[in-house]
Structure 1
Amino acid sequence: MSAPSSPTPPARTIQFGVFFQGVNFGTIWSDERSGSQHDFASFRQIAQTAERGLFPAFFLGEGLRLREHRGRVHELDVAGRPDAQTQLAALAAVTERIGLVATQNATYNDPHDLARRLASLDLLSEGRAGWNVVTTDNAWTGANFRRGGWLDHADRYRRAAEFVTAAKRLWAAGVGGPVETPDDLIPFSSVGTLPPSPQGRPVVFQAGDSDTGRDFAARHADVIFSAHGRLDAAIAFAADLRRRLPTYGRGEDELKFFPGQEFILAETDAEAQEKAEWVRHAQVSPQTALKFLEQVWGRDLSEYDPDGPLPDVDPVQEEADGTRGALFQGKPAKETADAWRAQAAEEGLSIREFVIAQSSRRSIVGGYASVADLLVRYAESGAVDGFNVSPYLVPSGLDDIVDGLVPELQERGVYATEYAGTTLRENLGLPAVREPSASFA
């Protein structure tokens, strides 16, 4: 059973989603306005603020193993957080229109179990569930699971494609079975049946940027997150994905583009630039800067001055530590350290200044009016449908956008003044669900 056709959104619009991150140092933990990452009040406040701003989606990132630093849980990151699906189920009861999206892994889940949990959230939220499909690229995470190990890049995407196809078949059958599966997925059938939600099935999100990842998105995703937030890069990325869509029998209206973005806003451009300087130094504390380098050096660097030059000693490991994420995974340690020292010396940067330069997030900085003018250009380009916002403060980090930027965009006619419908699919402007392909190829 397919959902009713979604209304066509107005041309030239911009939307916002919110990315409530897990492990990161983009969030400013030290500020007195920073809330708990465990208290439900933080999740409720940021989701309700986003809904007040007519955001179509609230997205929770989730990892499957706590980040570590030199063999111990990294104390400068979130040390565990409630399960994303559980949080979204709770948020469904205190929100009405905003979509509820969680990262769920296709490597370490099973299709029937995950499809049923996602369908349950979709049904109970009356058509507001979404699934950000991710794979896992390291044995360190795999060690947390009974099956252990990990999959090569090509195999991860092959399994993910089969996994998503199986999930879509289950949703089309009402999470009933039996459902045909490829040889390497265990055959399954349902012990019960769930009816479809008002949007038909959960909306599928994906963020792969490799050639294989882009093909995966062109075939399976409804929304793609990307790192291509600059206008020229966003235009090129969207053009590449749209060229791939016809190969899989899909139209341009079947894939929406939401690059990740951080907004630093104020009444004037000068005030925003001053705020950005504060944000960068608050995100990268002296302790954070040293621990950033320790991932490459593999040793305690607390004896070094964060406002002084990079360490003159060599790393004590051959490869950089990847247990805090994929950023340094597999990088040769001494080669990386030598390159960093040369760059810092050439640019006259201290340890902290160098780390700030290395780790600065994608940001749009400016006064409300000038940023609104810039986003009109994004809307006119057709390169993005919206931005997935990573707030630097939780839970108050969306206030500037909702109270300052959104009214400016509405005045320019590029931002909605009400939700298009009641479901995530409607509010994203996606067409009605089509039945899944009969092939796993």
Structure 2
Amino acid sequence: MKRFWRSIFFSAAIVLFLNTGCESSVGVFGYRCLDIELVDDKSLAQKSLPNVILIVTDDLGYNDFDLYSGGSITIGPGMQALINDGYVFNRAYVTSSVCAPSRAGLITGAHQNSFGFVSNITDKIRNSIPSSAYGLPTNQVTIANRIKPFGYKTGLIGKWHLGEHEMFHPLNFGFDHFFGFLNGKASYRNPFISMDNNPPAFYCDYITDLLTDATINFVNRNIDSPFFAYLSYSAPHTPHEAKSSAIGDAYSFILSNLDENISRLISHLKDVGAYDNTLIIFINDNGCPSNSGSCNNGIFKGSKATAYEGGIRIPFVMKPPKQLTNHENGIIEHAVSTLDIAPTICHLIGGCDDDGSLQGISLLKQIEPGFEQARTLYFNSAIIKGDYKFIKSIDELYDLSNDPMEASNLVGIYPNIADSLANEHIKWSARNPPKLW
């Protein structure tokens, strides 16, 4: 049996899009593992369209990085460059407090409840129903689908978590290249990684380093074309594993290593002349879990899988192409959503949203001086309208402008506001189809 698997892995290695080495390295379980060899960069050709890199971390705490006051890890030059050259959104939200639905809304630009992707893809789901029964509906249009007609090379590097059946593979949703894993988590050491449609193989590397190398390769291979790289890190999701040489606790190492890799990517973009012409967005997929024992959600109540701010409020940084940066105000205080990312990209390239299905507002509009628009944001069991937030499932009302910690339930003081928001959430829910699983 071991020979059989080794032969599969070796065959996959032959056709890998990336160059590989490590002829004698042995990974976990004794299987041969692969190294990734960086491809030489090329000179940057003149391109009329900007590149796009979307960096998504997994279960990062709001204050794990020192983007806001009181962060656990002091950020390095990469993240600092994004802040210096871009915008920090102090009040940014995902559309769901758990991984898969949040990512479905992000990559389509439409609220996932509008197409039934309500529930997370958990191990329980994976073990109880066929893989053909859960995943991103095949009629959904992703960011990659939208921008390919404009000449973009599209790549997903890292976590997908939108279905494991062949019909839900990222290559069927507009991505030219895939290097990562289809399920919800992966080992940090010698991870089991798929390349495009090839069988997965063990790679003899630390996963965050590996995914950064793969992204740098993708940039180098497509430097003469506009490209969209969706870099979906698995860090700092469990299992919390540091390198064997690491000193100190595993979670702190994972955060520091993640920050170093972001700096390495940003440094490479500058080296090859691509940084100024690249839109770079950094977000997390949801709040950090309460059972991790390590992460830092700052002042916010709640955690992953809750409707409190600690479950749905995320770190969010955007660095536009240089010619579009207006630094009259680099700190944005009003509410924004991950639903705003797809229309931002379409706005940037001058199209791709003709079908009217995108439900956000371009961030390029929102960073303009004087932008004012009260947002209504919907979640499974909550609604935010302006400064008020109502959590329908537990009948709690908060004024986030005065109480971001959600310490004082105002339902008894403002019952009319609570009732109005509850009715609005009921109407929104009624417009959505039944959940898919």
Same fold (TM over 0.5): no
The TM-score, its normalising length taken from structure 2, stands at: 0.30
TM-score of the superposed pair, with normalisation by structure 1: 0.30
More strand by share: 2
Greater share of residues in helix: 1
